[in-house]
């Protein structure tokens, strides 16, 4: 099956000598590869060659595969003629690209609960405190939009990498658009779990390695006008249409090529597209239902000794990501790995302001905040994975 996990039966040896299946519960950091991605890469490799450069069967097969990959991703995000799909390295790269492509004077509005990739790149930043509810998010955003005037870009995550909670993207988009602003969505954690699209957002960014396609590529999809008017993200071959003899005598390409300077990551793009194609035809409702079932099993089974954190409250919809406050997050994560063959993540998950707020350590420094323990899962995760982490946490 195309959405089967590569390495699903990876075994690890415990200190007792027992061999167990590795329970990967750190999908939010990097998800495992699915068969569709590995197969697409494997099938292309014998014909691998240069993209948009050269002649012959390798180059033409590679160029076709690359542009086909773009078309598939465009379908995945519902891109139209007014949009572009640009292959990047990851979400961080995609958001930095967009940040550099903003028209002069654009004010960016961002909540401080964002992952650093969606917090640090933005110029002219109006930073709002992370809201305690979706209604509060809309209220403080409206206030900011009223103050700001045009042009503005609102940028928010689709799903929090710390709490898994979904942000009210449709409502935020409607509000931003009412004020003539645009919306960028950091879909790094949303795209692997829920359908994403450009119906609400003007820009979407996500990473292949979180979308079961760990071959070093990411995506920025969104409206072409700002992107085509911007300075190329990387100055060099591919981005340049014509170069004269003098430094200023050059013409930049338009379209995705403008921001894809250098030889592109063909295998990364093809891998992402293969997963997108598999997800387009998959029963997303069934995948969602299974993920929610596992999420309930996990949350219902958490021992009283740990506290699950949330921004919008325990009943707010979320994806398969749960962060808990425990005495020693790093030590607990190490014990889970060493003694139980379970991979999770401990720390502040590149969201320092949010984690400080959720741990009630608002005045603490990054160095002193112990952070949280995060359990995250997705395709291929099982009841057994959940039960094992719960049993281990109960035993501490």
Question: For binding to ligand PMP (CB under 6 A), which residues are involved?
Answer: 28, 90-92, 115, 117-118, 157, 161, 186, 188-189, 207, 209, 350
Shortest distance (Å) from residue 215 CB to ligand PMP = 12
- DSSP category for residue 199: T
Q: Which helix (H) or strand (E) holds 322?
A: strand 321-325
Position of minimal CB gap to ligand PMP: 161
Q: Minimum distance between the CB of residue 56 and ligand PMP, rounded to whole angstroms? A: 34
Phi, psi of 81 (to 5 degrees): -65, -20
Query: In angstroms, how far is CA 180 from the centroid of its own chain?
Result: 26
51 or 188: CB nearest ligand PMP: 188
Kindly tell me which of 107 and 319 has the beta carbon lying closer to ligand PMP.
319
Using the minimum distance from each CB to ligand PMP, give the nearer residue, 216 or 301.
216
Q: Does the CA dihedral 205-210-213-215 come out positive or negative?
A: positive
Cβ proximity to ligand PMP: between 217 and 392 the closer is 217
DSSP 8-state code for residue 233: S
Least distance in angstroms from the C-beta of 60 to ligand PMP: 31
| Smallest distance from ligand PMP to CB 115, Å | 4
Smallest distance, ligand PMP to C-beta of residue 186, A: 5
**Which residue, 309 or 392, is less far from ligand PMP as judged by CB?**
309
Residue 257 CA, distance from chain mean position? 23
Residue 165 is classified by DSSP as B
Residue 124 Cβ, how far from ligand PMP at the closest point, in Å?
21
User: To the nearest whole angstrom, how small is the minimum distance from the Cβ of residue 94 to ligand PMP?
Assistant: 8
| Beta-bridge mates of residue 21 | 11
Q: What residues contact 231, with CB distance under 8 A and at least 6 apart? A: 100, 101
207 or 323: whose CB is closer to ligand PMP? 207
The partner residues of 308 in beta bridges, in order of sequence, read 324
Give 88: exposed, middle or buried? Use CB within 10 Å, 0-12, 13-18, 19+: buried
- Closer CB to ligand PMP, 93 or 202, in the complex: 93
Q: Please name which of 146, 190, 128, 222 lies closest in space to residue 319, comparing C-alpha atoms.
A: 190
Q: How far is the CB of 31 from ligand PMP (least distance, A)?
A: 11
Please enumerate in sequence order all residues whose Cβ is within 8 A of that of 239, keeping only pairs 6 or more positions apart, or say none. 232, 233, 252, 253, 257, 258, 259, 260, 261
Q: Check residue 212 and report its DSSP letter.
A: T
Q: From start to end of 115-192, where are the E strands?
A: 125-128, 152-157, 182-186
Nearest-angstrom CA–CA distance, 304 and 322: 15
Q: Give me the least distance between CB of 121 and ligand PMP, in Å please.
A: 11
**Percent helix, strand and coil across the chain, each to the nearest 5:** 40, 20, 40
Q: Which of residues 115 and 194 has its CB atom nearest to ligand PMP in the complex?
A: 115
Q: Which is nearer to ligand PMP, 76 or 252 (CB)?
A: 76
Q: How many residues does the chain have?
A: 396
85 vs 70: CA distance, rounded Å: 6
CA 137 – CA 129 distance, rounded (Å): 9
Q: Which is nearer to ligand PMP, 157 or 265 (CB)?
A: 157
Quote the least distance from Cβ 110 to ligand PMP, whole Å: 12
């Amino acid at each position: 099956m195309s959405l089967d996990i590569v390495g699903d039966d990876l075994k690890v040896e415990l200190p007792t000598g027992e061999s167990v299946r590795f329970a990967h519960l750190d999908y939010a950091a990097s998800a495992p590869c699915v068969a569709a991605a590995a197969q697409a890469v494997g099938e292309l490799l014998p014909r691998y060659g240069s993209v948009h450069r050269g002649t012959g069967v390798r180059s033409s097969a590679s160029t076709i595969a690359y542009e086909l990959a773009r078309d598939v991703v465009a379908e995945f995000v519902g891109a139209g003629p007014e949009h572009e799909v640009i292959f990047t390295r990851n979400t961080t790269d995609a958001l930095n690209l967009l940040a550099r492509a903003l028209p002069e004077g654009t004010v960016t509005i961002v909540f401080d609960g964002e992952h650093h990739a969606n917090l640090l790149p933005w110029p002219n930043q109006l930073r709002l405190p992370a809201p305690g509810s979706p209604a509060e998010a809309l209220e403080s955003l409206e206030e900011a939009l009223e103050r700001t005037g045009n042009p503005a870009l609102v940028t928010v995550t689709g799903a929090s990498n710390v709490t898994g909670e979904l942000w009210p993207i449709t409502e935020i988009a409607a509000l931003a658009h009412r004020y003539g602003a645009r919306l960028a969505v950091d879909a790094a954690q949303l795209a692997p779990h829920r359908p994403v699209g450009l119906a609400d957002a003007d820009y979407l960014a996500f990473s292949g390695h979180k979308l079961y396609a760990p071959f070093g590529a990411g995506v920025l999809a969104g409206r072409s006008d700002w992107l085509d008017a911007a300075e190329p993200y990387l100055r060099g071959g591919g981005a340049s249409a014509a170069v004269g003899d003098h430094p200023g005598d050059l013409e930049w390409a338009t379209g995705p090529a403008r921001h894809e300077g250098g030889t592109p990551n063909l295998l990364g793009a093809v891998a992402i597209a293969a997963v997108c194609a598999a997800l387009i035809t998959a029963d997303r409702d069934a995948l969602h239902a299974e993920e929610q079932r596992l999420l309930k099993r996990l949350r219902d089974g958490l021992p009283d000794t740990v506290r699950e954190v949330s921004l919008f409250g325990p009943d707010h919809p979320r994806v398969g990501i749960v962060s808990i406050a425990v005495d020693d997050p790093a030590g607990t994560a190490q014990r889970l790995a060493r003694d139980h063959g379970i991979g999770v993540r401990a720390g502040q998950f590149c969201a320092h302001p949010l984690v400080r707020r959720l741990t009630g350590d608002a005045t603490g420094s990054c160095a002193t905040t112990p952070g949280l323990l995060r359990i995250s899962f997705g395709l291929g995760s099982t009841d057994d994975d959940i039960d094992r982490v719960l049993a281990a946490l109960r035993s501490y």
